[in-house]
Amino acid sequence: MEKTTNQKAWFLVLPVLALVAFSAVIPLMTVVNYSVQDTFGNNQFFWAGLEWFREMLSSERMWNALWRQLVFSAIILAIEVPLGIFVALNMPKRGVWASTCLVLMALPLLIPWNVVGTIWQIFGRVDIGLLGYTLEALGIDYNYTQDIFSAWATVIVMDVWHWTSLVALLAYAGLQSIPDAYYQAAKIDQASRWAVFRYIELPKMSGVLMIAILLRFMDSFMIYTEPFVVTGGGPGNATTFLSIDLVKMALGQFDLGPAAAFSIMYFLVILLISWVFYTVMTNLDRREGHR
Amino acid sequence: MDWMAWTTPTAIFFVVIASLLIVFSALAIRFPETPRVGVLRIETTRGDRLFITLLGAAFINLAWLALSGMPQWGALIVCLAYAVAVFRWV
């Protein structure tokens, strides 16, 4: 029987194309337009060429923000991924406790960013916050508004608190999909706990873990609300990450040209890293498929 | 469209990118190809190689602007050489 061809079905894609154009492509094109021009308001623009890109590339401020951002993402990945796996390995596999754990783990994920920021902002205060007050009482010098180390520690612990459960839930889903036969075979071979983890659980989780790492990297690389609410980017510029710096430049100072150039470079870095992650992920999948 | 602050150079930039996408889409429909493994040890199709070329070209232009101090069209020559290399070996 011959298949009928109906090219008219392509028209069904049109609404999506229109939506993407309206919400993503056209704004991005506008940013490119802004990045080569200067404006003093009133929607009047003057040609500036590559000046803003040159300025941004030699701007210590941007490189510092990028560096801080990379360090932040690296630290939270280094904590959240192993911790998430550890939690997933120790969660009950079935029964009422499994459901209870799942609900408890999902709770932090449901809290909006600004609320998490506010919770930690109060929690860490030395005068009225439980954490800040306790640390102070223990004689530990902690003040996230004045001390750089305290500010970083607060922002990192807050992110770990908020997002580790995402990694844990994904890893748990990966673990649940492993058939019992694998564990039985390992038992017959008298495999150690480490060997079971290294040769059964970790390879079977690799797919979901890559997704977890990608999601956590992207989210942490774009982080704005939480540190903005807790530290406001301070003390000084100590926790001014890329998004915070960008918003300060674009909306605080209304430097549209430099902010647009900054945005494009930010976008390119994200695009590059996402592509690397995506390529690694699809190649891992393919290798898994060949096995 | 005034709010988008169009200029001739940015219009040319987008027309070139859009044309590249249209040409490569047409090529993909007219002459479908099987993915191949190149020097990066990953499977790539013609479209993947175009993406790698465009993304790499953006970084080459930025690096040229930051480091060389020479006119920007020099970066375009490097990009063309890079594009040829990507389409030949990646």
Distance from CA of B15 to the nearest CA of A (A): 11
Cα A263 to Cα A226: distance, rounded to the nearest angstrom = 20
Which one, of A140, A192, A178, A155, lies nearest residue A68 by Cα?
A155
Domain that holds residue B13: 2-89
Amino acid at A223: I
Write the pLDDT tens digit of every residue in B37-52. 888 888 888 999 999 9
Cα B61 to Cα B80: distance, rounded to the nearest angstrom = 11
Distance from CA of B3 to the nearest CA of A (A): 7
Q: Please count the structural domains in chain B.
A: 1
Inter-chain residue contact B5 with A45, CB threshold 8 Å: yes
Domain ranges of chain A: 59-290
Q: Say which CATH topology domain A59-290 has.
A: MetI-like fold (1.10.3720)
Say what the pLDDT of residue A39 is. 85
Residue B29 has pLDDT above 90, yes or no: no
Residue A117 CB coordination number (10 Å): 22
Say what the pLDDT of residue B22 is. 94
Contacts of B10 in chain A (CB under 8 A): 29, 32-33, 36
The 3-state DSSP class for residue A40 equals coil
Structure pTM?
Answer: 0.84
Residue A39 touches chain B, beta carbons under 8 Å: yes
Inter-chain residue contact A30 with B3, CB threshold 8 Å: yes
Q: Is A52 exposed, middle or buried (0-12, 13-18, 19+ CB in 10 A)?
A: buried
Say what the pLDDT of residue A23 is. 92
Kindly give the parts of chain A with pLDDT less than 50.
none
Residue B73 touches chain A, beta carbons under 8 Å: no
Residue B65 touches chain A, beta carbons under 8 Å: yes
Distance from CA of A286 to the nearest CA of B (A): 10
- Count residue pairs from A and B with Cβ separation < 8 A: 52
Say what the pLDDT of residue A234 is. 79
Write the pLDDT tens digit of every residue in B66-79. 998 888 899 999 99
ipTM field:
0.91
Cα A281 to Cα A69: distance, rounded to the nearest angstrom = 23
Residue A146 touches chain B, beta carbons under 8 Å: no
Best A35, A44, A60, A279 residue to mutate vs chain B (most B CBs within 10 Å): A279
Give the angle B59-B63-B69 at the CA atoms, nearest 5°. 145
